[in-house]
Amino acid sequence: MAAVMAPLIETRGLTLHYGGLKAVDGVDFTLEAGEIHALIGPNGAGKTSFVSLLSGRRLPQSGRILLAGEDITRLPAQLRVRKGIAYTFQITSIFPRLSVFDNVALAVQAQGTRDLENRTRAALARVGLDGLEEQEAGTLSYGHQRLLELAMGLALKPRLLILDEPTQGLAASEIEGFKALVRSLVPETTVLLIEHNMEVVMDLASRITVLTFGRVLASGTPAAIRANPAVQEAYLGA
């Protein structure tokens, strides 16, 4: 009998408090390898706090985080990057005074300097920024800065890529290109997407988890989430 593969990410009873505020309140969550999974919910639902726990930017008060069955609950963020977790932030986190090339090269160096130039150029080409290598990153348009941030994440060759509001500020034409890019990443890379644009969510995600008040309200296919009365009331609107 074949062994059952562990989920890529599994959380059990994950909790994060800020003073008396329960930003993440006992969350059980499963992310299967090779899927595009969206995390949605109203502002203040705990989405960014939850992925901060997954990436190691914050540590939980209680609960566990498993990466392919390995307990990484207390592992520092930089060691999670080496294990294949890349997190692009809600606000662009580029180095504005460095060149486009150097921004991505710094990400590549996080995994060693071997084949630095080829890996850097390949990541830039993947997001359509080839030809802009020497441009100062801070002079890029907002949409191109978001793509640069994505290239920095892809340069790490992640097993899991966490995208936090990646289409915020993008033009419609840029969003179409972004969706095509994300689809091209799976199944080699698993994508966890935090996104308010419901058209993007419903178009890309194979599964959706809805958070509200730091708890999981529902999880399922896009069709099941769209039809869920509790989700309609809390977030989607009737």
Pair (162, 79) in one structural domain: yes
What tokens appear for 176 in the block?
Answer: 């179409």
Bond into 187 cis (ω within 30): yes
Pair (103, 79) in one structural domain: no
Domain assignment present for residue 90? The answer is no
Pair (111, 143) in one structural domain: yes
pLDDT of residue 93: 79
Pair (69, 128) in one structural domain: no
Residues 195, 200: Cα–Cα separation, whole Å: 8
Pair (187, 215) in one structural domain: yes
Domain assignment present for residue 143? The answer is yes
Q: Distances from the Cα of 155 to the Cαs of 72, 118, 135, 171, 193, in angstroms? A: 22, 10, 18, 24, 18
- Tell me the Ramachandran region of residue 80: left when phi exceeds 0, alpha when psi lies from -120 to 50, beta otherwise: alpha
CATH number of the domain bearing residue 77: 3.40.50.300
Contact of 219 with 27, CB cutoff 8 Å? no
CA of residue 229 relative to chain centroid, distance: 27
Residue 26's φ and ψ, nearest 5 degrees, are 70, 45
Pair (54, 164) in one structural domain: yes
Contact of 99 with 135, CB cutoff 8 Å? yes
Domain assignment present for residue 3? The answer is no
Domain assignment present for residue 4? The answer is no
Pair (80, 162) in one structural domain: yes
Domain assignment present for residue 111? The answer is yes
DSSP output for the chain? -PPPPPPSEEEEEEEEEETTEEEEEEEEEEE-TT-EEEEE-STTSSHHHHHHHHHTSS--SEEEEEETTEE-TT--HHHHHHTTEEEE-SS----TTSBHHHHHHHHHHTT-STTHHHHHHHHHHHTT-TT-TTSBGGGS-HHHHHHHHHHHHHTT--SEEEEESTTTT--HHHHHHHHHHHHHHTTTSEEEEE-S-HHHHHHH-SEEEEEETTEEEEEE-HHHHHH-HHHIIIII--
pLDDT of residue 238: 45
Domain assignment present for residue 219? The answer is yes
Boundary of a domain, candidates 136, 157, 178? 157
Domain assignment present for residue 89? The answer is no
Per-residue pLDDT of the chain (238 residues; tens, 9 = 90+): 555 678 999 999 999 999 888 999 999 999 999 999 999 998 889 999 999 999 999 999 999 999 999 999 999 998 998 899 999 865 557 999 999 999 999 988 877 767 899 999 999 999 999 999 999 999 999 888 988 999 999 988 899 999 998 888 788 888 998 999 999 999 999 999 999 899 999 999 999 999 999 999 999 999 999 999 999 887 765 4
Pair (42, 111) in one structural domain: no
Pair (60, 76) in one structural domain: yes
What tokens appear for 29 in the block?
Answer: 């969550």
Pair (72, 165) in one structural domain: yes
Pair (119, 146) in one structural domain: yes
Which residues span the domain enclosing 205? 9-84+158-236
How many domains are contained in the chain? Answer: 2
Pair (193, 77) in one structural domain: yes
pLDDT of residue 146: 87
Residues 6+ apart with CB under 8 A from 231: 210, 217, 218, 225
